[in-house]
Amino acid sequence: MLKRRRPFVAEINVTPFVDVMLVLLVIFMITAPLMQHGMEVQLPKESISPIPLKEIPTITLRSNKKIFWKQEELANLMGLTRKVEQYIEANKDGGVYLRADKNLDYGFVMHILSTVKQAGVQNIGMVTDPAES
């Protein structure tokens, strides 16, 4: 009895390829959200070249959490909201600069940013000191 050999099949078997692609898809679906959140980094101390300051108000946040509008100390966030709303009524497309002490709590600075945005300011510039050479 003679064994008949089967002819070679010249087709690509895609099943292993699909298996590998599905595994990679699952891996990326799991790791993608982790890459977008909370990694500890030290921010660089260098800065970009200075831009010319415009004549717009500056909100200053001191390390003791005192809030200043231009040079005037404000008692609370309501005072800041009133000042910003008055400014926006006079300057519809106005913006403000924010100067915050580097030792302030990040949450506090973000709360101030949120308050200023809710009061109607669309453009907020962050002020920094130039890096030392």
Mean pLDDT for the stretch of residues 55-62: 84
Whether this prediction's pTM lies above 0.75 is answered by no
Query: For position 54, what pLDDT does the model report?
Result: 65
Domains and CATH numbers, the chain: 58-126 (3.30.420.270)
Helix (H, G, I), strand (E, B) or coil at 67: strand
- Reported as a single tens digit per residue, the pLDDT across 66-111 is 888 888 888 888 999 999 999 988 888 888 988 888 888 889 989 9
- How far is the C-alpha of 29 from the C-alpha of 37, rounded, in Å? 14
Which residues face 61 on adjacent strands?
Answer: 67, 100
Query: For position 19, what pLDDT does the model report?
Result: 93
- Reported as a single tens digit per residue, the pLDDT across 12-53 is 888 889 999 999 999 988 887 766 544 343 444 555 666 666
Query: For position 6, what pLDDT does the model report?
Result: 79
Query: For position 40, what pLDDT does the model report?
Result: 45
Q: What is the DSSP letter of 101?
A: -
Q: Are 65 and 104 in contact (CB under 8 A)?
A: yes
- How far is the C-alpha of 77 from the C-alpha of 83, rounded, in Å? 10
Q: Are 84 and 121 in contact (CB under 8 A)?
A: yes
